[in-house]
């Protein structure tokens, strides 16, 4: 009796958490569309969106209206099931990935002991969605983009895992709440100072994992039109777009939790610190997108296999040795 009551309560909690996470994803996409275009504008010394509403603040609303009203065009000879499944598959796993993130001391949707494993395991699903989208849409650009997405995603997952593993070694826990709790309130007690190499490697790999410039090879609009989502229009495209921004937000939250002290800050710990830090990382991602040109594909893989992977293994080894000695 008591047990079923608890499970019903936790189920309700989970549903509420899922709804909140969806709301966060959509709100994030709307804010980031505007912020990114404004940021791009200011970096190029032009105003960005300006005409829709005061200072173009209604531009994302107009954009989403356009996407909603667009015709869903299905090209000939697509693999029908996979073609419709791919955007959903890109969107849904991200929802799951937000659940173990400790937004605040008490604001965690799903307190799991192995949150790191959950995130790293399901992050690969986005890759599968990209592969399916490119494969099923019967388009040469699509399949090229999908091939690139897989080669890039598989490669960059390894140094990412190894960089996070160094922090896990140091904390001795795979629970994200424990990792945030283990760091102090003062900025100099956050992990990015005692794991600078892991922090740097994670910053590089998070850009590559979210397929953002300068590592946006799977989409590369100048060479592959739009890469894996070339044949998607209307809401299919919107779901890919939404999941791209949600993925960005996710890696930013993971970065904030692992390296930037999570919900802890110099004054007044709470979920606001997580959000400030995560959006600072987002601003960083936007900043480098509009600074660096896209790398060539062999350069992309060389950076990973020749530099990031050995460095992350070295970093993990040094961390292990220091933990053993101290």
The contact set with other proteins (CB under 8 A) reads 39, 41-47, 50, 287-288, 290-292, 307
Q: In terms of CB distance, is 7 or 291 closer to other proteins?
A: 291
Q: In terms of CB distance, is 172 or 310 closer to other proteins?
A: 310
Residue 102: strand pairing partners: 108
Alpha carbons within 13 A on the beta-carbon side of 71: 3
Inter-axis angle of helices 115-136 and 140-171, nearest 10: 170
Residues 6+ apart with CB under 8 A from 213: 288, 289, 290, 292, 294
Cβ at position 39, least distance to other proteins in Å: 7
d(CA 1, CA 36): 51
**The Cα angle at residue 128 between residues 122 and 132, in degrees rounded to 5:** 150
DSSP state of 102: B
Torsions phi, psi for 231 (to 5 deg): -90, 10
Cβ at position 146, least distance to other proteins in Å: 29
Cβ at position 220, least distance to other proteins in Å: 20
Cβ at position 188, least distance to other proteins in Å: 22
Cβ at position 223, least distance to other proteins in Å: 22
């Amino acid at each position: 009796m008591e047990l079923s009551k608890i499970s019903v309560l936790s189920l309700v909690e989970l549903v509420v958490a899922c709804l909140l996470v969806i709301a966060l994803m959509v709100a994030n996409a709307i804010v980031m569309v505007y912020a990114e275009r404004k940021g791009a504008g200011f970096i190029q010394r032009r105003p960005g969106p300006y005409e829709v509403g005061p200072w173009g603040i209604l531009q994302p609303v107009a954009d989403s209206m356009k996407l909603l009203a667009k015709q869903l065009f299905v090209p000939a000879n697509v693999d029908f099931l996979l073609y419709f499944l791919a955007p959903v598959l890109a969107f849904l796993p991200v929802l799951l990935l937000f659940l173990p993130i400790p937004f605040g001391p008490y604001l965690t949707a799903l307190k799991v002991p192995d949150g790191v494993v959950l995130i790293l395991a399901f992050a690969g699903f986005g890759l599968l969605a990209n592969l399916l989208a490119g494969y099923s849409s019967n388009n040469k650009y699509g399949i090229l983009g999908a091939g690139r997405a897989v080669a890039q995603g598989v490669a960059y997952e390894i140094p990412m895992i190894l960089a996070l593993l160094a922090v896990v070694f140091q904390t001795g826990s795979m629970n994200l709440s424990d990792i945030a709790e283990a760091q102090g309130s003062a900025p100099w007690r956050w992990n990015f100072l005692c794991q600078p190499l892991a922090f740097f490697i994670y910053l590089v790999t998070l850009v590559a994992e979210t397929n953002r410039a300068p590592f946006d090879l799977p989409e590369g609009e100048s060479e592959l039109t739009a890469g894996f989502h070339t044949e998607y229009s209307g809401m299919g495209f919107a779901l890919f777009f939404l999941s791209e921004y949600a993925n960005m937000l996710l890696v930013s939250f993971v970065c904030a939790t692992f390296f930037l002290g999570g919900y802890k800050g110099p004054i007044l710990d709470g979920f606001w610190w997580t959000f400030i830090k995560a959006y600072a990382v987002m601003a960083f991602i936007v900043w480098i997108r509009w600074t660096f040109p896209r790398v060539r594909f062999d350069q992309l893989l060389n950076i990973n296999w020749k530099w990031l992977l050995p460095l992350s293994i070295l970093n993990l080894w040094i961390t292990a040795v220091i933990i053993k000695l101290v």
